[in-house]
Structure 1
Amino acid sequence: MESVSEGEPAVRRRPKDRKAQIARASADAFGSQGYHAVSMEDIAARVGITPAALYRHSPSKYDLFRDAVLGLGQLLVDATAFADDRDDDDPAATLRMLTAALADATIANRTAGGLYRWEARYLRSEDRVLLAEQLRVVNHRLQRPLLQLRPKLTSSQRWTLSSAALSVIGSITDHSNQLAAGEIRLVLISMAADVLAAELPASRRRTAPRPEPINVGPEAGMYEHVLYESVRLFYENGYRNTSMEDIASAVGIQASGLYRSFPGKADILALAYRRAADRHSSDTADALSRNSDPEEALDDVVDEYLGRVMEWPDLPYVYYTERHNVPEADLRVLETIESSTMDAWARLVTAARPEMKIGAARYAVGAAFALTVDFRRLFARDSGPESVATIRRLMEVTLLGRPVKRRR
């Protein structure tokens, strides 16, 4: 055996798993910081190599980003591939195995798992097509046994339920509530099963009108107009691709006038977040003050929350996608408000559903919120009253395992 002479430097060999290390570091970086905030230097530092060495593995940040997003999509495809080879004489077992496999894959990649949900808009068109195909494959695998179990479901209903199940499972990437991995797995599988078994509201010719989206103009005053136009631009273009000049132009003022009132766009983003968090907290407190029965209170808080989402549908998406751009001091306050409000919802869930522990209830609440954030993806072709009734039913089933018992 050759030995290294004393004083002779040891030869450093590239680890065999360097490619996997880079892929993991890229996914974690993009997942936690967002595409635009991450640099090649950031990823290289996470791996423990120089930027020059990283460039030898990948020619650009975009290539790493694309590989990270499509790699996560492929994980879901691979995790569910077994279903293609099963003789479906037991579709219920196949469906359970599929949701368990998806839950396991998501738990194992929780830090980066939200990447395909929140940052995929930055993919180039050809890569978005590839991601859409990956998700189509996973949805079809869920829908095959679902169709055997529920043959009367329409194609649209099957897509709604399979997409909602994926939303519920993926919701753990939206928050950092702590729970043992085994307990997370059980609650995700249970919620996905409840959603897939949900009886969707029957279509009616006459449905209750949904709240109309707000349209804030200059007559509301500059403050409200700036918040509204900023969120719209952040939703359409992304925070990083929106400048103070863009916001000023949308509001109809000079950029210098905007800077006199707001130091920067991060401050505007923080104000929009604080507005949303405070309203959610206040609506929850109001509903609790009106109702002593926990299920009636939960009925009210869901109504209030959905009403806010429908009034300003851009805001929930921006709220989840751009939070890493909120200044740290503002983010700490927001997290306090969010945690308090989620706990209030979770206590209502455990009061109405005593068999559920508070930790699991927090995950159910996070899953219910995720359904509303994914509303436009779930109902891209129809955002009318029937779709609102459907999302409401899915929220109820996620929270309680069944629809809310309506008051007479």
Structure 2
Amino acid sequence: MSEARAADQVRRRPRDRRQTIEAAAAVAFAERGYHRVAMQDVADAVGITAAALYRHFDNKYELFREIAMDLVARLTDATAAVGEVSDRTPATARTEAAAVLDAVSGETVAMRSSGNIYRWESRYLRPEDRRALAAEFTALRRRLAEPAAMLRPDLDPPTLDLVALAALSVIASVTAHRTPMAVASLQALLREAAMRVLTEAPGPAPTAPAEGHGPVEAAPPGRRRDQLAQAGIAAFARRGYHEASIEEIAAAVGITPSGVYRHFSGKSEILRTACERAAAALDAAADDALGRPDPREALHSLEAAYVRFAVEDRDLMDVYTADVGALDAEDQRRLRRLQRAHVDDWVELLGRLRPDLDPRDLRFLVHAGFNVVADLSVALRRSPAPEAKRWIGAVLETVLGV
């Protein structure tokens, strides 16, 4: 190769190749999950060879970790650009909080196609990397909680942290669906709902008992198939479908791995059974709510059922939300249709109480409510269930504006 040709190739190579790789990989991980993406897939998306990709990243995990930390760094940098008020008043605190929310929403909307890797795919980060990511998000919540403290002097620091979590969860919800909306209108809707959470959420939040999680319960009595399904749900929620094994599911109920196959053909059937169980529970709650003549009572019934499901059967809710993508294509399509139909039921009921909003706005609020319930049910997992359900339900109503 001539020196002139070599120099021309160097000039043609994009200076931002590493960023291009990260952007393509982030979308792939968000859409298909960590385990279903190969380095060759990323190389193909960028238009380079696998060898060229490995010049930038040693392996898939290094690429994934870099993406996760970079995405949260973008949020941190955006909020750092918002000036802190040294002598806050309620008026300046409100302005500052709104500016922080706008900064976060601006970055979140910009990375909407990839931002959802935080919730589910971060399970695959190593413990030290998960801790680093969690520390970044803790600092992000603190940045919002500081002006919120001026707006809500009635709230203690732990509750302020949860309120900030819920407000940020409203914004993060846009990464969980693809409903289109103009950016300016979307940011305004998100800001309004998030500010409602900051200014109107109840307090104080429930606290965890001093003894913490308590003893680990043995597998519940009942039919072996039900025990295995529940053990599978717990393993999928804890480690992700691809990391969980038939061996650990069998061990959880005290049988050999071969015994699992007398009840299920494999992990995929356990997952499908779990998702069908979740869909049936949500569908039954919607049928009950839609049969009530009073729209306020109907929506309250639907809210209570959803929060109860999230708090009392959090593992099943997590699996239903996170691991549908591990099913085969036909099962995925069927369950996605059920999920969309459930959102439609919420939109219909909420629309009766919020005639000021069009169906698209309502859909964004419903997704925001779902996201907040999911995040708060995890944050309050050690709190007494009745108190957690009451508090989360009240925050959900605040998000929906009812």
- TM-score norm. by structure 2 comes to 0.89
Tell me if structure 2 keeps the 8 A contact 1:216–1:228: no
Tell me if structure 2 keeps the 8 A contact 1:216–1:224: no
- Residue 293 of structure 1 and its aligned partner are, at CA, apart by 1.3
- Using the aligned pairs only, state the percent identity: 35
Match of 2:146 among 144, 147, 172: 144
Q: Which amino acid aligns with 1:66?
A: R
Counterpart of 2:376? 375
Whole-Å separation in 1 of the counterparts to 2:36 and 2:240: 12
Q: Which amino acid aligns with 2:380?
A: F
Counterpart of 2:333? 332
Tell me if structure 2 keeps the 8 A contact 1:111–1:173: yes
Whole-Å separation in 1 of the counterparts to 2:288 and 2:257: 39
Tell me if structure 2 keeps the 8 A contact 1:58–1:64: yes
- Residue 199 of structure 1 and its aligned partner are, at CA, apart by 3.8
The residue matched to 2:242 in structure 1 has which SS?
coil
In the TM superposition, 1:214-233 aligns within 5 A as 217=219, 219-233=221-235
Q: Which amino acid aligns with 1:32?
A: E
Whole-Å separation in 2 of the counterparts to 1:241 and 1:143: 36
Q: Which amino acid aligns with 2:104?
A: L
Tell me if structure 2 keeps the 8 A contact 1:84–1:141: no
- Residue 123 of structure 1 and its aligned partner are, at CA, apart by 1.9
- Residue 11 of structure 1 and its aligned partner are, at CA, apart by 3.8
Match of 1:190 among 178, 192, 200: 192
Deviations 1:214-260 (A, max 9, x none): x8957432332221111011122221111223323333444334334
Counterpart of 1:130? 132
Describe the shift of the 1:338–1:204 C-alpha distance in structure 2 as closer, same or farther (beyond 3 A): closer
Counterpart of 2:212? none
Tell me if structure 2 keeps the 8 A contact 1:75–1:105: yes
Q: Which amino acid aligns with 1:49?
A: I
Deviates more, 1:65-74 or 1:377-386: 377-386
Counterpart of 2:285? 283
Counterpart of 1:111? 113
Describe the shift of the 1:202–1:10 C-alpha distance in structure 2 as closer, same or farther (beyond 3 A): closer
- Residue 282 of structure 1 and its aligned partner are, at CA, apart by 1.5
Counterpart of 2:77? 78
Whole-Å separation in 2 of the counterparts to 1:57 and 1:311: 44
Counterpart of 2:166? 164
- Residue 20 of structure 1 and its aligned partner are, at CA, apart by 1.0
Counterpart of 2:303? 302
Whole-Å separation in 2 of the counterparts to 1:203 and 1:32: 34
Describe the shift of the 1:49–1:170 C-alpha distance in structure 2 as closer, same or farther (beyond 3 A): same
Q: Which amino acid aligns with 2:127?
A: S
Tell me if structure 2 keeps the 8 A contact 1:73–1:116: no
In the TM superposition, 1:265-284 aligns within 5 A as 265-284=267-286
Whole-Å separation in 1 of the counterparts to 2:377 and 2:133: 17
The residue matched to 2:373 in structure 1 has which SS?
helix
Q: Which amino acid aligns with 2:299?
A: L
Tell me if structure 2 keeps the 8 A contact 1:183–1:360: no
Deviations 1:74-113 (A, max 9, x none): 0110111123455545111111111111111111111111
The residue matched to 1:21 in structure 2 has which SS?
helix
Whole-Å separation in 1 of the counterparts to 2:192 and 2:84: 25
Counterpart of 2:16? 17
Deviations 1:116-139 (A, max 9, x none): 222223222332232122212211
- TM-score norm. by structure 1 comes to 0.88
Tell me if structure 1 keeps the 8 A contact 2:24–2:46: yes
Q: Which amino acid aligns with 1:102?
A: V
Deviates more, 1:238-247 or 1:10-19: 10-19
Tell me if structure 2 keeps the 8 A contact 1:226–1:251: yes
Tell me if structure 2 keeps the 8 A contact 1:201–1:389: no
- Residue 275 of structure 1 and its aligned partner are, at CA, apart by 1.2
Counterpart of 1:36? 35
- Residue 372 of structure 1 and its aligned partner are, at CA, apart by 2.2
Q: Which amino acid aligns with 1:197?
A: T
Whole-Å separation in 1 of the counterparts to 2:382 and 2:249: 29
Whole-Å separation in 2 of the counterparts to 1:230 and 1:23: 33
Deviations 1:126-185 (A, max 9, x none): 322321222122111111111122223210111011001111111122223333333322
Q: Which amino acid aligns with 1:359?
A: R
- Residue 386 of structure 1 and its aligned partner are, at CA, apart by 2.3
Describe the shift of the 1:252–1:343 C-alpha distance in structure 2 as closer, same or farther (beyond 3 A): same
